[in-house]
Amino acid sequence: MKWFLQRVLAAVAAVLVVALGAALLVRLQYTGEPASWAVSNQTNALWMGHAWVDGRYGERELAELKPRITEGGISDVYVHVGPLDYDGRLDPAKHPELEGFLRMFRRELPDVRVSAWVGQRVEEGELDLGDEATRTRVIEAAAGLVDAGFDGVHYNFEPVPNNDPGLLALLESTREELGEEVLLSSAVPTVEPLGGLAFTLGLLASKDPFWSSGYLGRVAEHLDQVAVMSYDTGMPTEGMYGGFVVRQTQVAMDAVPPDVRLLMGVPAYPDDHAARNPEAETTAAATRAIRIGLSEGGRRRDEFGTALYADFSATRGQWEAYLDGWVGPGGGEDG
């Protein structure tokens, strides 16, 4: 029995040493100063809430948001129009003011592309991307939104397992249906910080904590834009969160083809839960980390920007932190 306990304690100690070493390596990523050229080139995105298409928001709210979109170099917005029903259908009753919103938005911001943000949970008992009939209905919904006047479709299905074939089949069929001229984008989860980690953790965990970089690359091949949701990471401190986002940026740049726009997600919301410490995951930390990760590449990637989440939750301080930290770096703070 004593021998067994010694072995268990030794194994636990080894795991702790590895974990502490990994934490230190993550923290060290968030050091140094980003290059002066690692800033916005006015190709950023913004997730916009459902209130724009259900009648709660209108002219007054857009007048308030418009200068932020302009100052923030926002070239694309993703407007929530769903969610989808569990069989893949999209009920038009969920977006009764869609046409009015599009007319208003195009009048005020004609140079900003507008994509329909379409998604649903894909856990057991909910939307099944592995079902061909379900995928067909999702694509029918996407095509209807483009016909209604959207420039493109932005998919956001969560959680999608690593190496899931259903999502790949959906993206391939969506592209075939909508054609090359329609903008196709998707939000994606965080990616393994080290090669092989997604596979290893997938053997131990009931749900995949990361996508592999290889799977991200295969998904990106079907898209015009990829938005990495680099938040809700569970990192306990700002330094560790910053280091994690630096590494996410580096891995994603390697995985996503250079002709596909890579957008790194920036948190701008107050949520405090098990997967997010709002004092660690700040807007300022995210933008600085993205700049450091971009700098590590040694040169400016043309198809690169950030995606801010979200218009309905960002405080004035978070918008200032975003503008100071990414659009015109100068050290803004959250608030």
pLDDT at residue number 29: 75
Tell me, what CATH number does 160's domain have? 3.20.20.80
Average pLDDT across each block of 10 residues of the chain; the chain has 335 residues. List them in order.
Answer: 40 35 58 94 97 98 98 98 96 97 98 97 88 98 98 97 96 98 97 62 59 96 98 93 95 97 97 90 97 91 97 97 89 45
Q: Is residue 2 part of a domain?
A: no
Q: Is residue 305 part of a domain?
A: yes
Q: Is residue 276 part of a domain?
A: yes
User: Could you tell me the residue range of the domain that residue 298 belongs to?
Assistant: 31-327
Count how many domains the chain has. Answer: 1
Q: Is residue 138 part of a domain?
A: yes
Q: Is residue 335 part of a domain?
A: no
Q: Is residue 6 part of a domain?
A: no
Beta strands in the chain (DSSP E): 44-48, 74-80, 113-121, 152-158, 183-188, 225-228, 261-267, 304-309
Q: Is residue 103 part of a domain?
A: yes
Q: Are 82 and 118 in contact (CB under 8 A)?
A: yes
Q: Is residue 13 part of a domain?
A: no
What is d(CA 235, CA 243) in angstroms, rounded to the nearest whole number? 10
What is d(CA 302, CA 106) in angstroms, rounded to the nearest whole number? 26
pLDDT at residue number 13: 35
